[in-house]
C-alpha cells in the first residue's frame, strides 16, 4: 500500500526536514507541501491524501481549523514546536504528536503509527476536530468555502447562527454566510461563555443580545442588537439566563 501524504508547515526548513526523513520510506509518496492552513484545506479536498504531517500554529487557519474546515480529512500526525496540546491530542485519537526539532527515531515511530492507523478504521475527523478544539482553546476564526476559495470569518463578527441540515448559516452584520458543518459540531468549537444555544437550531452570541422578553412557561423572545427577534425555548432558557447574569 502506498501512503499518499501531504506536508503542512509554514517553515520551509521544517518541511525539508520531514521530506528528507520520508525519503527513507519507499511506500510513502509526498503529493504536496503547503505553507499555510488555507492552502492545506484546498490540498486536502483536491488531492484527498491518505495522511498529513500537520503543524499546529500557522497563518490563516491553524492545524485544528484545517481539520474542521476541510471536507476530506486524512489521518494526521501533528508536528509542532508546542507541547501543551500533546496529551490531549492523544486522548482525542490523533495518530501521533511529534515535537520540533524533529528527532529521526521519534519520527520513524510516528510513521509506523500512521501505517497502523491507515490499516484500521479512522475516527470521524470532525469529531476529532471538535475534541481538539475543546483542549486547545475555543475557535477565533472560521473557514467558509465559497466559489473556489476559503474566506476567513472572525468568530467575534458572528451575531447568531442557524442550522440548515448539514450546514449552518452565519449571520453577520448586513450579510450571511453558509458553512458546511453541523450546528452540533460548530457549537463544540465555540466558547460557551460567549455563545449560547437558545433553540435546537439557533446559537447566539451573548454580547449581541439587546434584551429578552418573557413569553410563557420559561420561554423568551430574544431581540438581537441588529433588530432581529429570535425564540428561546424553555429547555435552553435557563442556561441563557445564567450566562446573562
All structural domains of the chain with their residue ranges: 3-136, 141-244
Q: What is the pLDDT of residue 40?
A: 94
Q: CA 52, CA 76: separation in Å to the nearest integer?
A: 5
pLDDT, tens digit only, all 245 positions of the chain: 899 999 999 999 999 999 999 999 999 999 999 999 999 999 999 999 999 999 988 888 888 888 878 888 899 999 988 776 565 555 545 788 899 999 999 999 999 999 988 987 555 555 555 555 554 568 888 989 877 788 899 999 999 999 988 899 999 998 999 998 889 888 888 888 899 999 999 999 999 999 999 888 778 899 999 899 999 988 787 777 766 76
Q: Do domains 3-136 and 141-244 have the same CATH topology?
A: no
The position carrying cell 475534541 is 131
For the entire predicted model, the pTM comes to 0.62
Q: What is the pLDDT of residue 92?
A: 47
CA dihedral 239, 193, 170, 237 (to 10 degrees): 10
Q: Does domain 3-136 have CATH number 3.20.10.10?
A: no
CA dihedral 131, 134, 139, 144 (to 10 degrees): 20
Q: What is the pLDDT of residue 103?
A: 94
What CATH code would you report for 141-244? Answer: 2.40.50.1020
Amino acid at each position: 500500500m502506498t501512503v499518499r501524504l501531504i506536508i503542512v508547515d509554514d517553515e520551509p526548513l521544517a518541511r525539508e526536514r520531514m521530506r528528507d526523513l520520508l525519503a527513507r520510506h519507499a511506500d510513502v509518496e509526498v503529493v504536496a507541501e503547503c505553507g499555510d492552513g488555507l492552502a492545506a484545506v484546498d490540498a486536502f479536498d483536491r488531492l484527498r491524501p491518505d495522511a498529513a504531517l500537520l503543524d499546529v500554529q500557522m497563518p490563516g487557519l491553524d492545524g485544528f481549523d484545517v481539520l474542521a474546515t476541510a471536507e476530506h480529512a486524512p489521518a494526521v500526525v501533528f508536528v509542532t514546536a508546542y507541547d501543551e496540546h500533546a496529551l490531549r491530542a492523544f486522548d482525542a485519537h490523533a495518530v501521533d504528536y511529534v515535537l520540533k526539532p524533529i528527532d529521526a527515531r521519534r519520527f520513524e515511530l510516528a510513521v509506523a503509527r500512521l501505517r497502523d492507523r491507515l490499516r484500521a478504521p479512522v475516527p470521524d475527523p470532525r469529531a476529532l476536530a471538535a475534541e481538539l478544539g475543546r483542549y486547545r482553546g475555543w475557535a477565533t476564526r472560521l473557514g467558509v468555502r465559497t466559489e473556489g476559495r476559503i474566506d476567513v470569518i472572525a468568530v467575534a463578527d458572528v451575531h447568531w447562527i442557524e442550522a440548515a441540515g448539514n450546514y449552518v448559516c452565519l449571520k453577520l452584520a448586513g450579510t450571511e454566510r453558509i458553512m458546511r458543518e453541523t450546528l452540533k459540531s460548530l457549537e463544540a468549537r465555540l466558547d460557551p461563555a460567549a455563545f449560547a444555544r437558545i433553540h435546537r437550531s439557533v446559537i447566539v452570541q451573548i454580547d449581541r443580545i439587546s434584551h429578552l422578553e418573557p413569553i410563557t412557561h420559561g420561554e423568551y423572545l430574544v431581540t438581537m442588537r441588529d433588530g432581529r427577534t429570535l425564540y428561546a425555548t424553555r429547555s435552553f432558557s435557563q442556561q441563557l439566563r445564567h450566562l446573562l447574569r
